[in-house]
């Protein structure tokens, strides 16, 4: 997977209105020309379903919290994915909650929610580094697996 630098996205809702003050480009609307050489059907399905898709602007918040615009990534077979900045991580069953919190803090991450089965956690703080952070955690003996949480837009069926 490779991070796309042309645009960022935000889920539907009032959090990101079309603020074009200071000359910043506003969100794309249905029927707008799409930037770059991204998979048009996937990106258009995000626009059509109410996601804010905005051209990248230097200094804009990016994927570090729930109010930030999220980066996109392309897969090796051309698919488009929203990188949520969250990870699903399964830890060794013998680790305490404090051990897990310390291990995550060492990697700039924190527990968002314990998923309630098998030492599985939803982890936040990875931002646009979700793929790299997952690979780092997968290299630790205390981690069974770590996977980025991705959203794959689907076109009309």
**Which tens digits make up the pLDDT trace of 87-134?**
999 999 899 999 999 999 999 999 999 997 778 999 998 887 888 999
pTM for this predicted structure: 0.73
Looking at the chain, the whole-number percentage of residues with pLDDT higher than 90 is: 33
Strands in 57-107 per DSSP E: 70-74, 80-91
Structure tokens at 74: 């392309």
Say how many residues make up the chain.
157
């Amino acid at each position: 997977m490779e991070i796309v630098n042309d645009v960022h996205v935000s889920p539907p809702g009032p959090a990101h209105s079309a603020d074009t003050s200071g000359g910043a480009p506003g969100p794309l609307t249905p029927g707008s020309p799409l930037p770059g050489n991204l998979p048009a059907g996937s990106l258009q399905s995000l626009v059509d379903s109410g996601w804010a898709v905005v051209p990248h602007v230097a200094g804009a918040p990016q994927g570090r919290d729930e109010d930030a615009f999220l980066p996109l990534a392309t897969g090796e077979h051309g698919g488009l994915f929203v990188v949520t900045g969250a990870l699903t991580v399964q830890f060794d069953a013998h680790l305490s909650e404090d051990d897990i919190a310390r291990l995550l803090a060492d990697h700039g991450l924190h527990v968002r929610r314990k998923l309630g089965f098998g030492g599985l956690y939803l982890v936040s703080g990875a931002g646009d580094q979700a793929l790299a952070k997952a690979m780092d955690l997968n290299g630790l003996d205390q981690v069974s697996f770590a996977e980025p949480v991705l959203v794959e837009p689907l076109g009309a069926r």
